[in-house]
């Protein structure tokens, strides 16, 4: 049996929908990762064959002042999951982020590049990576970025809501790779089937900025692109710093036999088409 943690979230619910009866969907009501001390008892009682951890503290700005909770969920709990699964011979998969990097590299980041996070969220995710691999070297850590689906709050759904009310300002000096939940699940399941371990970058292909992505969304949903106005990160003035370049490339994907995820524009067109039917 495969346990999917974070089953109520954007990525976890996609795994549950795809896998159906093959998995056990686990929500915060079943296991609260903010209380890492309960993890060992939970694993002992459920005894899964594989744990896929999609749960995370993802409020990037809030983490700057709520660092204890972010660290408990993104680092301590991940380390505890890795330790208890390793001890029992259970497979373990967890997800990390492009925000472990500082954005100074002019080209895309690969798995062997040295993390240097700019914010608390990125720090806690990087700490979770280290704790996981220290405790369970066979664990799979999938770094991804800019997650999008049609079912949960994310940049796509937020942008469509905002544009319905009028002009929107969007940052144009942060670039990355949008990743679509359905494609990420496909790639992750392929990596699991191939017994891939360690860190693996999985994103859809094709980089853009948040501003560029917003314009693409508008065009695909027949919204006036002139409603979208570019703004700098400095002018937006958020509590947490973001990397200017968080494009994730991969030096391991082809070597591990995992197919590239589709181009982001192809995936975006498909999901926008579904939402506007």
Q: Is 121 a catalytic residue?
A: yes
Catalytic-labelled residue, pool 57, 99, 109, 121: 121
The closest of 21, 43, 10 to 148, measured between CA atoms, is 10
Catalytic residues: 121
């Amino acid at each position: 049996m495969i346990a999917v943690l974070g089953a109520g979230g954007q990525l976890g619910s996609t795994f549950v929908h795809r896998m159906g009866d093959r998995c056990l969907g686990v929500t915060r009501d079943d296991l609260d990762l903010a209380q890492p001390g309960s993890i060992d008892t939970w694993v002992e009682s459920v005894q899964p064959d594989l744990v896929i951890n999609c749960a995370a503290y993802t409020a990037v700005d809030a983490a700057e002042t709520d660092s204890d909770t972010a660290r408990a969920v993104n680092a301590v709990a991940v380390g505890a999951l890795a330790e208890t699964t390793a001890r029992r011979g259970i497979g373990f998969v967890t997800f990390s982020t492009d925000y472990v990097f500082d954005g100074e590299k002019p080209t895309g980041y690969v798995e062997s590049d040295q993390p240097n996070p700019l914010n608390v969220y990125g720090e806690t995710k990087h700490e979770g990576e280290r704790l996981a691999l220290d405790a369970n070297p066979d664990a799979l850590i999938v770094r991804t970025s800019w997650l999008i689906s049609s079912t949960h709050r994310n940049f796509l759904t937020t942008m469509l809501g905002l544009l319905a009310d009028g002009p929107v300002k969007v940052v144009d000096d942060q670039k990355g790779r949008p990743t679509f939940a359905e494609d990420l699940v496909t790639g992750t399941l392929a990596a699991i089937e191939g017994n891939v371990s360690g860190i693996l970058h999985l994103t859809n292909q094709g980089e853009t900025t948040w501003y560029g992505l917003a314009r693409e969304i508008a065009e695909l949903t027949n919204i006036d692109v002139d409603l979208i106005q570019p703004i700098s990160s400095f002018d937006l003035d958020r509590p947490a710093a973001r990397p200017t370049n968080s494009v994730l490339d991969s030096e391991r994907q082809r070597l591990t036999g995992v197919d590239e995820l589709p181009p982001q524009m192809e995936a975006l067109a498909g999901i926008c088409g579904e939402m506007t039917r």
